């Protein structure tokens, strides 16, 4: 069987360490593993189960581990999450020389740059997978779908507000 190759959706050369991003991360096979929607319409709300509470806890801990990151909107759904992350650049000088340029000797040869959106999402998915699997007693279980979706939020035109509203209203629009 031939290996499966995934197209890398990130733009080469784009700086994913700064800016506001609308992020969607899906559960593996879109399984309803984070809780359930209670109520309907404008009264709908997400009721998190133990896995959902782990996701919430680890999401809220992102700024502790990634200085320069600000969390904005978050909505955990049964099978995915939507959020807005604001990145103000790397919080440390690790991998950066005195001029502010990336020191190629200390840079990672593969994978996302430290402090980038990709590094933050990868760390979040890793820690939540480990903790959810431990809580469910299923070592090695797959929690997250491969990759994630992101959109850089433009400052003009009210896009930020529309995305924040979409995230907030997501439970009311559930299936």
The CATH number of residue 106's host domain is: 3.30.70.1290
Tell whether 1 is covered by a domain: no
Tell whether 140 is covered by a domain: yes
pLDDT in tens, 80-112: 999 999 999 765 433 333 333 444 434 555 778
Tell whether 22 is covered by a domain: yes
Q: How many CB atoms lie within 10 A of CB 68?
A: 15
Tell whether 36 is covered by a domain: yes
Q: For residues 15 and 106, what is the distance between their CA atoms, to the nearest angstrom?
A: 18
Give the pLDDT score at 125.
97
Whether 39 has a pLDDT exceeding 80, the answer reads yes
Q: Whole-prediction pTM value?
A: 0.82
pLDDT in tens, 43-54: 999 999 999 999
Q: Which residues, including other chains, have CB under 8 Å from residue 103's CB and lie 6 or more apart?
A: 95, 96, 97
Tell whether 50 is covered by a domain: yes
- Nearest Cα neighbor of 19 from 10, 28, 32, 27 is 10
The number of distinct structural domains making up the chain is: 1
Q: Which domain holds residue 118?
A: 18-173
Tell whether 3 is covered by a domain: no
């Amino acid at each position: 069987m031939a290996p499966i190759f995934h197209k890398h959706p990130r733009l080469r050369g784009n700086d994913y360490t700064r800016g506001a991003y609308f992020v969607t991360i899906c559960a593996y096979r879109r399984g309803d593993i984070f809780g359930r929607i209670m109520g309907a319409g404008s009264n709908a709300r997400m009721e998190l189960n133990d896995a959902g509470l782990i996701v919430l806890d680890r999401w809220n801990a992102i700024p502790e581990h990634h200085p320069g990151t600000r969390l904005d909107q978050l909505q955990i759904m049964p099978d995915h999450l939507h959020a807005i992350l604001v990145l103000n650049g790397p919080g440390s000088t690790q991998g950066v020389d005195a001029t502010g340029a990336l020191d190629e000797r200390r840079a990672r040869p593969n994978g996302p740059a430290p402090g980038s959106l990709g590094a933050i999402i990868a760390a979040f998915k890793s820690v939540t997978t480990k903790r959810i699997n431990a809580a469910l007693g299923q070592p090695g279980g797959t929690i997250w779908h491969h990759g994630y979706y992101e959109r850089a939020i433009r400052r003009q035109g009210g896009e930020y507000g529309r995305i924040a509203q979409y995230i907030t209203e997501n439970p009311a629009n559930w299936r």
